Amino acid sequence: MDKSIYNVGSTMKFFQEKVNVISNNLSNSATMGFKKDTIVSESFDKILLRNFKSQVSVFGNDDITKTSFMEEYTPGVYASEVITSYEKGNLEDTGRKSDIALATDSYMVVKTKKEDVYIGSATTKRDNEGYLIVPTLGRVQGESGDIQIESNDFTIDEVGRIYVDGEEVDKIKAVQFRDMKQIKKVGDVSFTTPKSNVQDDDEAMFQQGFLEGSNVNMTNEMVDLIEVSRRYQTVQQTIQMLDEIFGIAVNKIGRV
């Protein structure tokens, strides 16, 4: 009986984690450049079998796969991983020259104090030394490294070339990733990945005065939240029922 409560309890915990992920998506639906997350479930026996298989190869060609949608709601379900959707959001016209967005599935490179991070659009500014930066992150990288400009009045053409007073200063560096599975989200709108996973994108297209909106679909997220909340309540009621049954059984044993 206690095992049953434990198994159902793990499913309840998974639903709570799923609610947290959906709630975070909803709260960031208006955050420019935000990419939605989805939590993936897996049953405990499959997690155990996969981990054991990685240590001792005795299972032949058994295929260890992710649980299906319906299997999410069976007892003993755990959060396996959180997957980020890199589908591009709609570009929104801000009218500000300092806003830069990529119209293609490409990313700008921003050099932070620790590492390079990658971002699909950004509100930029000149720092005290004249370098083009993304506030709170770092310096935007061009083909020649850090981009230094002498004026806030600059223009960017569709391929990323920066002009001040009609003269080309630099070209914003754009990259793509070889394997999207190797990307790690840092904060809400920027990403990191190993250098070996980065390749230059010579076909990237820029739009000045635009920012990329989030890729969160509010309607879908609300539907998912309602469904998960309903499942959570059902599991909660199951735990209460099992607890009552367990209590009755203990009392009967005590009378023997």
Q: Alpha-carbon distance 125 to 131, whole Å?
A: 8
For 211-248, the three-class secondary structure string (H helix, E strand, C coil) is EECCCCCHHHHHHHHHHHHHHHHHHHHHHHHHHHHHHH
Q: Sorting pLDDT into bands at 50, 70 and 90, what band is 255? A: low
Digit-coded pLDDT (tens) for 104-145: 999 999 999 999 999 999 999 999 999 999 999 999 999 999
**pLDDT, tens digit, for every residue of 177-210?**
999 999 999 988 999 999 999 999 999 999 999 9
More confident residue, 187 or 32: 32
Residue ranges of E strands in 124-242: 125-126, 132-134, 138-142, 145-146, 154-156, 161-164, 167-171, 174-177, 184-186, 190-192, 198-200, 206-208, 210-212
| CA–CA separation, 42 and 171 (whole Å) | 45
How many Cα atoms sit within 13 Å of 7 on the Cβ side? 13
Give the number of other Cβ atoms within 10 Å of residue 87's Cβ: 10
